[in-house]
Amino acid sequence: MNPTSGLRARLAEAHRDQRVVDAVHLATWRKVEARADAMAGLRHYAALRDRAAQIRQHTLDHLPQYLEQFVERATALGATVHFAANADAACATVCDIAVSRGLKLAVKSKSMTTEEVHLNDALLAAGVRVVETDLGEFIVQIDRDRPSHIITPIIHKDRRQVARAMARELGCPYTEDPAEMTRIARQHLRDIFRRCDLGITGANFAVAETGTLCLVTNEGNGRMTVTRPRVHVALVGIEKIIPRLIDLPVILKLLARSSTGQPLGAYTTLITGPRREGDVDGPEELHIVLLDNGRSRILSGPFREVLRCVRCGACLNACPVYRNVGGHAYNSVYPGPIGSVLSPLLYGRPAEELPRASSLCGLCYQVCPVKIDIPRLLVQLRTATRARQPRGKRLLMRAWAWAMDRPWLYRLAQRLMRRLLPDDGTGWINRDNHLFRRPLRAWTAQRDLLRPPPQSFRELWKGGLGDER
């Protein structure tokens, strides 16, 4: 079986969903332009980007030391720190916290780590109701859908689909007015916030120096999630550490600009320990679950730099492949260019063909605020699956390389190609006029093939060009 053919079919099918493709085109182009405008207005963009990449890489290069410092500081502040080696352990830890304290209703702000470990399913099975409070994630949840973008989970939906889901699931009057839909969702969530006893978040950053968690949100739901319930649990990837508080603004300046073109997220929440004597709000208990789930393995391998990622989503917005297939086609919590690097590293075989689905145009690298060289990593990952490529392809590649090592054979192949390709006088080979339907079809299904002209360059050279003047 050709492993890429499954992925090819999946991507082709995703592209046939015109409504999704239109919605994703519209949204990604808007974000690409917003990002470009925001960066153009930022002084010292290149220097900031260099610095952000440096901070992230430095942290990864010294991660054990900074993790230790973070744990020490957070614990001293009264937080309880847990380690979760994998997704199951993470879910078990969070469920245990909830069940042992009799917590029944959880509110969540948007978090990729909780998506990664499928925490909602685990909590539900443990008898805890979980409500997503980020508007996009809320709609995903009520519509029993999956997020298709790491920042904009419903980028694939249009207004009508959202309106239908809300009318159906919330029993509210049907409306397509975004302001009205937001009001209805807010009202619904207010009631949940009033009753909840557990708040679940991820973290954008964890500051080693101060034991602080940093959350960036746009709707205020993050702030309510960490102040209203009695217990706050943050599930944080171990790579989210940054060394010092003064490193934070460097990255914050780039994060929201990369994501949405905003100078800063609407809410930047810094959480330093649970509620203290005299505080007016905040949780009685703060639990920080540090998630490994393959990260330390990635850290010790050649793909370490992928862990610099700050989950801004700029590479998804910039990617012409993502734009044409949407996020679901990647079959992974992490879609798009960064997902095509991260998913095979996290999930192995089932995702290992993703790196091939890229034209390597490099826009992902161009827009990455922490300079992850995604195209290079994609190429590197392709080497890993070489042995599992279809036999025909491996043979063809070897035969091609063998011929290219022998100029006489290369010239012969050039001449043979001209001889064997059909010639109807137009200079072109189209869908119908060639005998080699199968081998050429992958090309001619989408575009005509230029017939090589009667003389190659080297024949022109030999035939007089070389001796001119």
Region of residue 383 (left: phi > 0; alpha: psi -120 to 50; beta: else) = alpha
The sign of the torsion formed by the CA atoms of 251, 253, 254, 255 equals positive
Residue closer to other proteins, measured from CB, 78 or 362: 362
Using the CB atoms, write b or e for 11-47: b if 16+ within 10 Å: beebeebeebbebbeebbeebbebbeebbeeeeebee
User: To the nearest whole angstrom, how small is the minimum distance from the Cβ of residue 403 to other proteins?
Assistant: 8
Residue closer to other proteins, measured from CB, 73 or 156: 156
User: To the nearest whole angstrom, how small is the minimum distance from the Cβ of residue 89 to other proteins?
Assistant: 33
Residue closer to other proteins, measured from CB, 172 or 384: 384
Residue closer to other proteins, measured from CB, 76 or 399: 399
User: To the nearest whole angstrom, how small is the minimum distance from the Cβ of residue 233 to other proteins?
Assistant: 40
User: To the nearest whole angstrom, how small is the minimum distance from the Cβ of residue 440 to other proteins?
Assistant: 9
Residue closer to other proteins, measured from CB, 234 or 321: 321
User: To the nearest whole angstrom, how small is the minimum distance from the Cβ of residue 280 to other proteins?
Assistant: 49
Residue closer to other proteins, measured from CB, 83 or 428: 428
CA distance 39 to 42: 5
Q: Which residues bind other proteins (CB under 8 A)?
A: 4, 7-8, 11-12, 15, 21, 25, 29, 32, 320-321, 323-325, 356-363, 366, 376, 379, 381-386, 397-398, 400-401, 404-405, 407, 410, 414, 417, 428, 430, 442-443, 445-450, 452-453, 455-461, 465-466, 468-469
User: To the nearest whole angstrom, how small is the minimum distance from the Cβ of residue 58 to other proteins?
Assistant: 23
CA distance 247 to 47: 14
Residue closer to other proteins, measured from CB, 124 or 395: 395
Cα separations in angstroms, 204 against 217, 270, 275, 308, 381: 10, 10, 21, 12, 27
User: To the nearest whole angstrom, how small is the minimum distance from the Cβ of residue 309 to other proteins?
Assistant: 21
